[in-house]
Amino acid sequence: MAFLVTGGCGFIGSNFVRLLRRAEPRQRVVNLDALTYAGNPANLSDLENDSSYQFVHGDISDRPLVDRVLSEHSIEAVFHFAAESHVDRSILDSGPFIRTNVLGTQTLLDASRAAKVRRFVHVSTDEVYGSLGEEGFFSETTPLAPNSPYAASKASSDMLVRACHHTHGFDTVITRCSNNYGPYQFPEKLIPLVISNIEAGLPIPVYGNGLQVRDWIHVADHAAGVLAAFRNGKAGEAYNFGGRCEKTNISLVKTLLNLMGKPETLIRHVADRPGHDRRYAIDCSKAERELGWQVRVDFSKGLADTVGWYRANPGWVETIRSGDYRRYYQSQYGHRGV
Ligand code: NAD
Ligand code: TYD
Protein backbone atom coordinates (compact mmCIF):
# COMPACT_ATOMS: atom_id res chain seq x y z
CA MET A 1 0.00 0.00 0.00
CA ALA A 2 1.16 3.53 -0.74
CA PHE A 3 0.03 7.12 -1.01
CA LEU A 4 0.06 8.99 -4.32
CA VAL A 5 0.87 12.71 -4.32
CA THR A 6 0.39 14.53 -7.63
CA GLY A 7 2.39 17.69 -8.29
CA GLY A 8 4.88 16.80 -5.55
CA CYS A 9 7.69 18.69 -7.30
CA GLY A 10 5.86 22.01 -6.97
CA PHE A 11 5.81 24.45 -4.08
CA ILE A 12 3.08 23.06 -1.82
CA GLY A 13 3.36 19.47 -3.05
CA SER A 14 7.05 19.24 -2.11
CA ASN A 15 6.41 20.70 1.34
CA PHE A 16 3.55 18.20 1.74
CA VAL A 17 5.63 15.17 0.65
CA ARG A 18 8.22 16.08 3.27
CA LEU A 19 5.51 16.36 5.94
CA LEU A 20 4.00 13.04 4.88
CA ARG A 21 7.34 11.21 5.19
CA ARG A 22 7.68 12.56 8.74
CA ALA A 23 4.05 12.08 9.80
CA GLU A 24 3.47 8.65 8.19
CA PRO A 25 6.95 7.11 8.16
CA ARG A 26 5.67 3.60 7.39
CA GLN A 27 3.76 4.69 4.25
CA ARG A 28 5.43 4.58 0.89
CA VAL A 29 4.93 7.82 -1.08
CA VAL A 30 4.76 7.98 -4.88
CA ASN A 31 5.02 11.42 -6.48
CA LEU A 32 3.53 11.80 -9.97
CA ASP A 33 4.64 15.05 -11.58
CA ALA A 34 4.86 16.21 -15.19
CA LEU A 35 7.73 18.63 -14.39
CA THR A 36 6.19 21.67 -16.05
CA TYR A 37 8.02 25.00 -15.70
CA ALA A 38 6.85 25.00 -12.04
CA GLY A 39 7.97 21.47 -11.18
CA ASN A 40 11.49 21.13 -9.84
CA PRO A 41 12.87 17.75 -8.68
CA ALA A 42 15.50 19.68 -6.69
CA ASN A 43 12.67 20.65 -4.31
CA LEU A 44 12.86 17.08 -2.98
CA SER A 45 16.55 16.36 -3.44
CA ASP A 46 16.80 15.55 0.29
CA LEU A 47 14.63 12.44 -0.34
CA GLU A 48 16.89 11.01 -3.07
CA ASN A 49 18.09 8.17 -0.85
CA ASP A 50 14.75 7.56 0.87
CA SER A 51 13.68 4.05 -0.19
CA SER A 52 10.05 4.77 0.78
CA TYR A 53 9.81 7.65 -1.70
CA GLN A 54 9.48 7.24 -5.45
CA PHE A 55 9.21 9.81 -8.23
CA VAL A 56 7.27 9.06 -11.42
CA HIS A 57 7.63 11.53 -14.29
CA GLY A 58 4.25 11.80 -16.00
CA ASP A 59 1.03 13.67 -16.70
CA ILE A 60 -2.16 13.23 -14.68
CA SER A 61 -4.10 13.42 -17.98
CA ASP A 62 -2.40 10.24 -19.25
CA ARG A 63 -4.96 7.60 -18.28
CA PRO A 64 -2.91 4.47 -19.11
CA LEU A 65 0.00 5.86 -17.08
CA VAL A 66 -2.23 6.82 -14.14
CA ASP A 67 -3.87 3.35 -14.21
CA ARG A 68 -0.44 1.73 -14.13
CA VAL A 69 0.82 3.89 -11.23
CA LEU A 70 -2.31 3.24 -9.18
CA SER A 71 -2.18 -0.53 -9.63
CA GLU A 72 1.59 -1.12 -9.55
CA HIS A 73 1.92 0.74 -6.25
CA SER A 74 -1.41 -0.40 -4.74
CA ILE A 75 -2.35 3.21 -4.09
CA GLU A 76 -4.60 3.63 -1.07
CA ALA A 77 -5.02 7.40 -1.01
CA VAL A 78 -4.49 10.21 -3.51
CA PHE A 79 -3.41 13.75 -2.57
CA HIS A 80 -4.06 15.81 -5.68
CA PHE A 81 -1.90 18.97 -5.82
CA ALA A 82 -0.92 18.95 -9.53
CA ALA A 83 -2.23 22.04 -11.30
CA GLU A 84 -1.44 25.06 -13.35
CA SER A 85 -1.48 27.51 -10.46
CA HIS A 86 -0.74 31.09 -11.53
CA VAL A 87 -3.57 33.56 -12.22
CA ASP A 88 -1.50 35.83 -14.51
CA ARG A 89 -0.49 32.91 -16.73
CA SER A 90 -4.15 31.84 -16.98
CA ILE A 91 -4.94 35.34 -18.29
CA LEU A 92 -2.19 35.04 -20.92
CA ASP A 93 -3.31 31.52 -21.98
CA SER A 94 -6.05 29.47 -20.32
CA GLY A 95 -5.49 26.29 -22.41
CA PRO A 96 -3.05 24.49 -20.08
CA PHE A 97 -5.35 25.31 -17.12
CA ILE A 98 -8.29 23.50 -18.69
CA ARG A 99 -6.10 20.57 -19.77
CA THR A 100 -4.48 19.95 -16.39
CA ASN A 101 -6.92 21.35 -13.82
CA VAL A 102 -10.13 20.13 -15.46
CA LEU A 103 -9.31 17.21 -17.78
CA GLY A 104 -6.38 16.08 -15.65
CA THR A 105 -8.48 16.03 -12.48
CA GLN A 106 -11.27 14.15 -14.28
CA THR A 107 -8.77 11.54 -15.53
CA LEU A 108 -7.18 11.09 -12.12
CA LEU A 109 -10.57 10.93 -10.41
CA ASP A 110 -11.99 8.32 -12.81
CA ALA A 111 -8.83 6.22 -12.60
CA SER A 112 -8.76 6.45 -8.79
CA ARG A 113 -12.37 5.33 -8.53
CA ALA A 114 -11.75 2.43 -10.90
CA ALA A 115 -8.70 1.41 -8.83
CA LYS A 116 -10.80 1.52 -5.62
CA VAL A 117 -8.65 4.17 -3.96
CA ARG A 118 -9.83 4.55 -0.36
CA ARG A 119 -9.79 8.39 -0.21
CA PHE A 120 -9.16 11.16 -2.75
CA VAL A 121 -8.05 14.51 -1.30
CA HIS A 122 -8.52 17.29 -3.81
CA VAL A 123 -6.43 20.38 -3.10
CA SER A 124 -8.36 23.44 -4.21
CA THR A 125 -8.26 27.15 -3.47
CA ASP A 126 -10.30 29.94 -1.87
CA GLU A 127 -10.23 31.67 -5.29
CA VAL A 128 -13.18 29.49 -6.38
CA TYR A 129 -15.39 31.71 -4.18
CA GLY A 130 -14.62 34.89 -6.16
CA SER A 131 -13.98 38.20 -4.43
CA LEU A 132 -15.11 39.84 -1.16
CA GLY A 133 -15.89 43.48 -0.39
CA GLU A 134 -14.62 45.21 2.76
CA GLU A 135 -16.59 42.88 5.06
CA GLY A 136 -17.19 39.16 5.51
CA PHE A 137 -15.36 35.88 4.98
CA PHE A 138 -15.53 32.88 2.64
CA SER A 139 -17.12 29.88 4.34
CA GLU A 140 -17.63 26.41 2.84
CA THR A 141 -21.24 27.39 1.99
CA THR A 142 -20.26 30.51 0.03
CA PRO A 143 -21.41 29.95 -3.58
CA LEU A 144 -18.64 29.31 -6.09
CA ALA A 145 -18.15 32.42 -8.27
CA PRO A 146 -14.69 32.17 -9.86
CA ASN A 147 -13.39 35.28 -11.63
CA SER A 148 -10.11 34.31 -13.32
CA PRO A 149 -9.54 31.46 -15.80
CA TYR A 150 -7.37 29.82 -13.10
CA ALA A 151 -10.16 30.05 -10.51
CA ALA A 152 -12.73 28.85 -13.06
CA SER A 153 -10.63 25.79 -13.86
CA LYS A 154 -10.22 24.99 -10.14
CA ALA A 155 -13.97 25.48 -9.51
CA SER A 156 -14.66 23.10 -12.43
CA SER A 157 -12.42 20.49 -10.86
CA ASP A 158 -14.18 20.94 -7.50
CA MET A 159 -17.51 20.34 -9.23
CA LEU A 160 -16.21 17.12 -10.83
CA VAL A 161 -14.98 15.92 -7.43
CA ARG A 162 -18.31 16.79 -5.81
CA ALA A 163 -20.26 15.01 -8.56
CA CYS A 164 -18.06 11.92 -8.28
CA HIS A 165 -18.88 11.66 -4.59
CA HIS A 166 -22.59 12.36 -5.10
CA THR A 167 -23.05 10.01 -8.07
CA HIS A 168 -20.69 7.17 -7.27
CA GLY A 169 -20.28 7.45 -3.51
CA PHE A 170 -16.51 7.82 -4.05
CA ASP A 171 -14.73 9.00 -0.88
CA THR A 172 -13.52 12.53 -1.65
CA VAL A 173 -12.49 15.50 0.49
CA ILE A 174 -11.87 19.00 -0.88
CA THR A 175 -9.54 21.53 0.74
CA ARG A 176 -9.70 25.24 -0.08
CA CYS A 177 -6.81 27.32 1.19
CA SER A 178 -5.86 30.97 0.98
CA ASN A 179 -2.53 32.39 -0.32
CA ASN A 180 0.49 30.35 0.75
CA TYR A 181 4.03 31.53 1.33
CA GLY A 182 7.22 29.75 2.40
CA PRO A 183 10.26 27.93 1.00
CA TYR A 184 10.31 26.54 -2.58
CA GLN A 185 7.61 28.90 -3.95
CA PHE A 186 8.13 29.71 -7.62
CA PRO A 187 9.15 33.40 -7.95
CA GLU A 188 6.24 34.33 -10.21
CA LYS A 189 4.03 34.62 -7.09
CA LEU A 190 4.03 37.86 -5.12
CA ILE A 191 6.18 37.10 -2.05
CA PRO A 192 9.06 35.21 -3.74
CA LEU A 193 8.92 37.62 -6.70
CA VAL A 194 9.39 40.57 -4.35
CA ILE A 195 12.17 38.85 -2.39
CA SER A 196 14.09 37.80 -5.49
CA ASN A 197 13.65 41.19 -7.20
CA ILE A 198 14.97 42.91 -4.06
CA GLU A 199 17.94 40.53 -3.99
CA ALA A 200 18.60 41.30 -7.69
CA GLY A 201 18.17 45.08 -7.17
CA LEU A 202 15.14 45.18 -9.49
CA PRO A 203 11.97 47.29 -9.15
CA ILE A 204 8.94 45.77 -7.40
CA PRO A 205 5.81 45.65 -9.61
CA VAL A 206 2.61 46.37 -7.65
CA TYR A 207 -0.60 45.91 -9.63
CA GLY A 208 -2.86 48.98 -9.58
CA ASN A 209 -3.09 50.79 -6.24
CA GLY A 210 -1.94 47.74 -4.25
CA LEU A 211 -4.96 47.87 -1.95
CA GLN A 212 -6.09 44.34 -2.79
CA VAL A 213 -6.17 42.10 0.26
CA ARG A 214 -4.90 38.51 0.58
CA ASP A 215 -5.09 36.20 3.62
CA TRP A 216 -1.58 34.73 4.04
CA ILE A 217 -0.81 31.29 5.45
CA HIS A 218 2.51 29.48 5.80
CA VAL A 219 2.81 26.44 3.55
CA ALA A 220 3.51 24.22 6.59
CA ASP A 221 0.08 25.11 8.01
CA HIS A 222 -1.59 24.36 4.68
CA ALA A 223 0.22 21.02 4.39
CA ALA A 224 -0.89 20.13 7.93
CA GLY A 225 -4.46 21.05 6.94
CA VAL A 226 -4.42 18.70 3.94
CA LEU A 227 -3.18 15.86 6.16
CA ALA A 228 -5.84 16.66 8.81
CA ALA A 229 -8.54 16.64 6.12
CA PHE A 230 -7.32 13.19 4.99
CA ARG A 231 -7.27 11.83 8.53
CA ASN A 232 -10.35 13.45 10.05
CA GLY A 233 -12.43 14.90 7.21
CA LYS A 234 -15.88 13.61 6.32
CA ALA A 235 -16.40 12.11 2.86
CA GLY A 236 -18.00 14.56 0.43
CA GLU A 237 -17.10 17.62 2.54
CA ALA A 238 -15.00 20.69 1.78
CA TYR A 239 -12.77 22.42 4.34
CA ASN A 240 -11.42 25.97 4.19
CA PHE A 241 -7.94 26.87 5.46
CA GLY A 242 -6.62 30.37 6.00
CA GLY A 243 -4.12 32.24 8.11
CA ARG A 244 -6.44 34.83 9.69
CA CYS A 245 -3.78 37.18 8.35
CA GLU A 246 -5.15 39.79 5.96
CA LYS A 247 -2.67 42.20 4.36
CA THR A 248 -2.94 44.66 1.52
CA ASN A 249 -0.37 43.97 -1.19
CA ILE A 250 1.22 47.38 -0.73
CA SER A 251 1.68 46.93 3.02
CA LEU A 252 3.16 43.46 2.48
CA VAL A 253 5.62 44.78 -0.11
CA LYS A 254 6.65 47.58 2.27
CA THR A 255 7.14 45.06 5.10
CA LEU A 256 9.43 42.99 2.87
CA LEU A 257 11.44 46.03 1.76
CA ASN A 258 11.81 47.03 5.38
CA LEU A 259 12.82 43.50 6.46
CA MET A 260 15.45 43.39 3.72
CA GLY A 261 16.73 46.92 4.38
CA LYS A 262 15.76 48.39 1.00
CA PRO A 263 13.95 51.70 0.23
CA GLU A 264 10.28 52.01 -0.78
CA THR A 265 11.43 53.89 -3.91
CA LEU A 266 11.89 50.44 -5.50
CA ILE A 267 8.06 50.13 -5.72
CA ARG A 268 6.54 50.59 -9.20
CA HIS A 269 2.77 50.77 -9.57
CA VAL A 270 2.09 48.94 -12.85
CA ALA A 271 -1.10 48.23 -14.83
CA ASP A 272 -3.66 46.36 -12.75
CA ARG A 273 -4.43 42.68 -13.39
CA PRO A 274 -7.61 42.38 -15.52
CA GLY A 275 -10.52 41.27 -13.32
CA HIS A 276 -8.31 41.53 -10.20
CA ASP A 277 -10.07 40.04 -7.15
CA ARG A 278 -10.26 42.72 -4.45
CA ARG A 279 -10.18 40.74 -1.23
CA TYR A 280 -9.84 37.14 -0.02
CA ALA A 281 -10.48 36.24 3.63
CA ILE A 282 -11.19 32.81 5.01
CA ASP A 283 -13.44 31.55 7.78
CA CYS A 284 -11.54 28.41 8.80
CA SER A 285 -13.62 27.63 11.91
CA LYS A 286 -15.00 24.40 10.39
CA ALA A 287 -11.47 22.98 9.98
CA GLU A 288 -10.59 24.08 13.52
CA ARG A 289 -13.75 22.51 14.96
CA GLU A 290 -13.99 19.32 12.92
CA LEU A 291 -10.39 18.51 12.01
CA GLY A 292 -8.58 19.71 15.14
CA TRP A 293 -6.42 21.90 12.89
CA GLN A 294 -5.14 25.36 13.69
CA VAL A 295 -2.65 27.88 12.35
CA ARG A 296 0.71 27.47 14.06
CA VAL A 297 3.17 29.66 12.15
CA ASP A 298 3.22 33.32 13.22
CA PHE A 299 3.28 35.53 10.10
CA SER A 300 6.20 37.78 11.13
CA LYS A 301 8.38 34.80 11.97
CA GLY A 302 7.24 32.83 8.89
CA LEU A 303 7.99 35.77 6.62
CA ALA A 304 11.43 36.42 8.13
CA ASP A 305 12.27 32.68 7.83
CA THR A 306 11.10 32.72 4.20
CA VAL A 307 13.35 35.69 3.39
CA GLY A 308 16.17 33.78 5.12
CA TRP A 309 15.48 30.67 3.02
CA TYR A 310 15.61 32.57 -0.29
CA ARG A 311 18.80 34.34 0.79
CA ALA A 312 20.38 31.03 1.75
CA ASN A 313 19.42 29.43 -1.59
CA PRO A 314 20.45 31.86 -4.34
CA GLY A 315 21.27 28.98 -6.72
CA TRP A 316 17.69 27.68 -6.50
CA VAL A 317 16.29 31.07 -7.58
CA GLU A 318 18.98 31.60 -10.23
CA THR A 319 18.22 28.31 -11.97
CA ILE A 320 14.54 29.22 -12.13
CA ARG A 321 15.08 32.79 -13.30
CA SER A 322 16.36 31.56 -16.62
CA GLY A 323 14.79 30.08 -19.74
CA ASP A 324 11.00 30.05 -19.60
CA TYR A 325 10.86 32.44 -16.63
CA ARG A 326 12.72 35.13 -18.62
CA ARG A 327 10.20 34.85 -21.46
CA TYR A 328 7.26 34.92 -19.04
CA TYR A 329 8.62 37.96 -17.15
CA GLN A 330 9.10 39.87 -20.38
CA SER A 331 5.53 39.20 -21.57
CA GLN A 332 3.97 39.90 -18.14
CA TYR A 333 5.97 42.99 -17.11
CA GLY A 334 7.19 44.34 -20.46
CA HIS A 335 10.86 44.35 -19.50
CA ARG A 336 13.57 41.85 -18.66
CA GLY A 337 13.39 40.82 -15.02
CA VAL A 338 16.87 39.37 -14.93
P1 NAD B 1 3.01 24.92 -8.35
O2 NAD B 1 2.70 25.60 -9.63
O3 NAD B 1 4.20 25.35 -7.54
O4 NAD B 1 3.22 23.35 -8.63
C5 NAD B 1 2.38 22.61 -9.46
C6 NAD B 1 3.03 21.23 -9.69
O7 NAD B 1 2.13 20.45 -10.49
C8 NAD B 1 4.35 21.32 -10.45
O9 NAD B 1 5.30 20.46 -9.85
C10 NAD B 1 4.00 20.83 -11.85
O11 NAD B 1 5.07 20.23 -12.53
C12 NAD B 1 2.88 19.85 -11.55
N13 NAD B 1 1.97 19.65 -12.69
C14 NAD B 1 1.38 20.63 -13.45
N15 NAD B 1 0.64 20.05 -14.42
C16 NAD B 1 0.74 18.70 -14.27
C17 NAD B 1 0.19 17.58 -14.94
N18 NAD B 1 -0.61 17.74 -15.99
N19 NAD B 1 0.49 16.34 -14.48
C20 NAD B 1 1.32 16.17 -13.43
N21 NAD B 1 1.88 17.20 -12.76
C22 NAD B 1 1.60 18.45 -13.17
O23 NAD B 1 1.68 24.98 -7.52
P24 NAD B 1 1.45 25.16 -5.94
O25 NAD B 1 1.46 26.60 -5.60
O26 NAD B 1 2.35 24.21 -5.21
O27 NAD B 1 -0.06 24.67 -5.81
C28 NAD B 1 -0.36 23.29 -5.58
C29 NAD B 1 -1.88 23.12 -5.49
O30 NAD B 1 -2.38 23.93 -4.42
C31 NAD B 1 -2.62 23.57 -6.74
O32 NAD B 1 -3.67 22.65 -6.97
C33 NAD B 1 -3.17 24.94 -6.39
O34 NAD B 1 -4.36 25.22 -7.09
C35 NAD B 1 -3.42 24.77 -4.89
N36 NAD B 1 -3.37 26.01 -4.08
C37 NAD B 1 -2.29 26.85 -4.17
C38 NAD B 1 -2.24 27.97 -3.36
C39 NAD B 1 -1.04 28.91 -3.38
O40 NAD B 1 -1.05 29.91 -2.68
N41 NAD B 1 0.01 28.61 -4.13
C42 NAD B 1 -3.29 28.25 -2.48
C43 NAD B 1 -4.37 27.37 -2.42
C44 NAD B 1 -4.39 26.24 -3.22
P1 TYD C 1 -0.25 36.06 -6.50
O2 TYD C 1 0.94 35.70 -5.67
O3 TYD C 1 -0.15 35.93 -7.99
O4 TYD C 1 -1.47 35.21 -5.92
P5 TYD C 1 -3.06 35.30 -6.28
O6 TYD C 1 -3.24 36.10 -7.50
O7 TYD C 1 -3.38 33.85 -6.52
O8 TYD C 1 -3.72 35.87 -5.08
O9 TYD C 1 -0.64 37.57 -6.18
C10 TYD C 1 -0.95 37.98 -4.86
C11 TYD C 1 -1.44 39.42 -4.95
O12 TYD C 1 -0.35 40.25 -5.37
C13 TYD C 1 -2.54 39.62 -5.99
O14 TYD C 1 -3.47 40.59 -5.49
C15 TYD C 1 -1.81 40.18 -7.20
C16 TYD C 1 -0.65 40.96 -6.57
N17 TYD C 1 0.59 41.00 -7.39
C18 TYD C 1 1.20 42.23 -7.64
O19 TYD C 1 0.72 43.30 -7.22
N20 TYD C 1 2.35 42.25 -8.39
C21 TYD C 1 2.90 41.11 -8.89
O22 TYD C 1 3.95 41.19 -9.60
C23 TYD C 1 2.27 39.84 -8.61
C24 TYD C 1 2.85 38.57 -9.12
C25 TYD C 1 1.13 39.85 -7.84
Q: Which of 305, 2, 57, 13 is nearest to 175 (CA)?
A: 13
Residue 338 in this model has a pLDDT that exceeds 50: no
| CB-based pocket (< 6 A), ligand 1 | 6-7, 9-13, 32-36, 38-39, 59-61, 81-85, 100, 104, 123, 125, 154, 177, 179-180, 186
* CATH no. for 2-333: 3.40.50.720
Instruction: Using the predicted structure, report yes or no on whether residue 321 has a pLDDT greater than 90.
Output: no
Residue range 53-74: average pLDDT?
98
Q: Ligand 2 centre from 225 Cα, in Å? A: 23
> 87-105, pLDDT tens digit by residue?
999 999 999 999 999 999 9
Give pLDDT, residue 106.
98
Q: Which ligand is nearest to the CA of 88?
A: 2
- Is 229 within 8 Å of 173 (Cβ atoms)? yes
Mean pLDDT, the chain, as a whole number?
A: 96
Q: How many Å apart are CA 51 and CA 257, to the nearest integer?
A: 42
Identity of the residue numbered 190: L
Checking if the pLDDT of 54 tops 80, the result is yes
Residue 176: HSE in the Cβ half-sphere, 13 Å Cα cutoff: 31
**Domain boundaries along the sequence of the chain:** 2-333
Distances from the Cα of 62 to the Cαs of 56, 59, 96, 226, 262, in angstroms? 12, 5, 14, 25, 47
pLDDT of 323 higher than 70: no
Output the pLDDT for position 319.
85
Pairing of strands 246-248, 213-218: antiparallel
Q: What's the pLDDT score for residue 1?
A: 87
The pLDDT tens digits for 157-199 are 999 999 999 999 999 999 999 999 999 999 999 999 999 999 9
Closest ligand to C-alpha of residue 276 is 2
